[in-house]
Structures are given as C-alpha cells and as structure tokens.
C-alpha cells in the first residue's frame, strides 16, 4: 500500500512572455525558524524508531517560494479569496478570471523547486525513518525531491481533466494553449513591463492577483474530446476528495507507527478529521504525534485531550529536519 509510481514533470515550453521572477521565499526570516538543540534532539528521538508517516502542509514549501494561506506573508493576509469548486463549474466569468490569472501565477508556481526540507524527508525515507507521506500541497515537490509513497491528498496541479468525459492533459500543454488562444489579450493586458512585474501579486497554488477585471474577451479552451470544462486535478475549496484517496490516507495513518505533522495548522477539515479519527479510535495516542509548525494548530485548539502528550516544536520545517538528520546521521543532496 505504500508503493507509488514517481511522477515525471514535463518540460516548460521555452518561449513565453510571462515573467517568472518573484520573491525567492515566502518563509519567515531564519531568525524566527531556528530550532533549539533540545527540540532537535526530541524530534530525532521521535523519528529514530522508524515507521513514521509525515503529514505536510503549505509551510514546508514556503522556502521554495510558494506562499501559504495563513502565514504572515500568506495569501489570506493579502485578501485572497480562493476559487470555489461550484464557482469554477457554473460561472464562465470565474473560469475566465482563473485561467487569466494563471498565466502569471502558474508559470511562477511551476518554476519552483524542492527545498532542503523536501530533500531531507526523501533522505529520511530512504533511511527507513519515514514510511510515507500525505501532503495537502498540490506542488508535487515531494515527488520531485525523490520521496515515494506520497499521497497528494488535494490532488496535483500539473494536470488538467475534463469534468465531463475525464480526458486529461498535462497542464503545461494546456497553459500554452490558453496563452496562444489569448495572444492579443495577453499583449494588451499582461505586457511584461517593469511596472507589470512589480504590480503582480503571487498567491497560493498557482494563482495571482491581476489589476485587470474585464475578462469578457478572454477565451478558455474546451476539452478537445467532448467540449467539456477543463479543470486542474486539484480539490478546490468546497470540492470533495475522492473516496479512494481518503481510504488510502486512512490506511497510511493506521499502518504508521507514529505521525509527524510538518508545516500545517491542520485547519482544513480533510486532514484535521483524518488525524482526529485516528486518535479518537485509539489507533494513535497523543504521544505518537509530533507537530512542527510556526504557530498553533487546530488539533491543539479543538481536541486538546486527544493530542495530550504530543510533541510540539515551534520552528521551521527546513531547520528542524536538517537538525534531526544531523543527529540521526542522515545526509541528503
């Protein structure tokens, strides 16, 4: 159940007027993410018996330059209102806005690379301290870093699928089609001038804020097989995780010796209820849970009795995993 084929990312098309430069990191400053020696030792001791399942959130990818939702530099702090599933499916104007914004947002999102936390997790897995991963992120950076047995709980942003016939297409190819179909609109609205680059606002999960608000002339390619609506293979807010994915995630949690939450506040119901269900059923005890996160989590706020005895470390994911790897004698690239 812990086997999974590696995902191979296709190459970006070389020619594009879309700028991809942006802040190198949305992570807190290093002075705020450092882990103290006692916490590093406790994390290493937690990992040492092996069989650990890691549950990761947006906080693990901020050092790759991908903003989170709830952090100080996150999307919500900038007034970001995520696209809802039913909005995308039923409102053509919202779909046009989504794909127009993606011409900047996704180009940047796709250019991001794994950071040291992703590589250290892959190394811990190869050394048999980590058994598998459940990630709430849609960036596929764990797979790119070499991790296996990864469940992308909320899907992956590198593919689009028809909502009628199920036909799929690599997102890079689809994005190129969007760009080609709207070359005049792009020239008129998204010229890669200095002022445009400075004014853009990268958001979570391949989105970006645009000053433009008129998308009437923007065109969205339909499914080439049946003419249906094409949508990224991610779980939008208000959407549902496939039952097979949830069942597999429950089995990962049940089979693991302990759980390590990394860079997640666990506010999203899907992951909160998976962890809560394991604790409530007695499959896991509080002392078999560790959390590495900057700030409080929903687990500690809403179910304090169930997580009693857990290990909590207020530090950055990269700092924490690197320190634990050093103590465990694990090296990564």
Task: Report d(CA 318, CA 59) in Å as an integer.
Answer: 10
> Quick one: which H or E segment has residue 99?
helix 92-110
CA of residue 91 relative to chain centroid, distance: 25
What SS3 class is residue 83? coil
What SS3 class is residue 201? strand
Which sequence positions are flagged as catalytic?
Answer: 154
Q: What share of the chain is helix, strand, coil (3-state, %, to 5)?
A: 40, 15, 45
* DSSP structure class, residue 71: S
Q: CB count, 10 Å around CB of 51?
A: 14
What SS3 class is residue 15? coil
Cβ distance 328 to 128 under 8 Å? no
Apex 235 CA angle, 233 and 239, nearest 5: 130
Task: Report d(CA 241, CA 245) in Å as an integer.
Answer: 7
Cβ distance 249 to 41 under 8 Å? no
Listed residue (137, 148, 122) closest to 263, CA to CA: 137
């Amino acid at each position: 159940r812990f086997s999974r084929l590696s995902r191979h990312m296709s190459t970006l098309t070389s020619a594009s007027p879309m700028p991809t430069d942006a802040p190198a990191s949305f992570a807190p400053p290093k002075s705020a993410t450092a882990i103290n020696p006692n916490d590093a030792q406790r994390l290493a001791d937690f990992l040492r018996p092996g069989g650990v399942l890691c549950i990761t959130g947006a906080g693990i990818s901020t050092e790759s330059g991908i903003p989170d939702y709830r952090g100080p530099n996150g999307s919500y702090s900038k007034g970001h209102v995520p696209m809802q599933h039913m909005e995308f499916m039923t409102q053509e104007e919202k779909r046009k806005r989504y794909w127009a914004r993606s011409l900047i947002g996704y180009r940047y999102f796709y250019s991001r690379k794994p950071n040291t936390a992703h590589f250290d997790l892959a190394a811990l897995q190869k050394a048999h301290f980590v058994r598998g991963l459940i990630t709430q992120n849609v960036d596929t950076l764990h797979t790119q870093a070499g991790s296996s047995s990864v469940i992308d709980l909320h899907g992956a942003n590198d593919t689009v699928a028809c909502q009628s016939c199920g036909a799929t297409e690599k997102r890079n190819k689809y994005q190129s089609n969007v760009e080609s179909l709207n070359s005049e609109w792009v020239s008129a609205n998204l010229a890669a001038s200095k002022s445009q680059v400075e004014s853009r606002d990268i958001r979570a999960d391949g989105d970006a804020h645009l000053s433009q608000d008129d998308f009437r002339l923007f065109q969205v390619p339909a499914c080439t097989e049946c003419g249906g609506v094409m949508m990224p293979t991610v779980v939008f807010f208000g959407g549902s995780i496939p039952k097979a994915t949830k069942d597999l995630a429950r089995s990962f949690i049940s089979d693991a010796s302990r759980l390590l939450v990394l860079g997640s506040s666990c506010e999203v119901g899907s992951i909160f209820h998976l962890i809560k269900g394991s604790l409530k059923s007695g499959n896991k005890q509080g002392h078999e849970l560790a959390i590495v996160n900057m700030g409080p989590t929903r687990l500690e706020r809403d179910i304090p009795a169930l997580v009693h005895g857990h290990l909590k470390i207020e530090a950055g994911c990269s700092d924490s995993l690197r320190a634990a790897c050093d103590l465990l004698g694990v090296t990564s690239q």
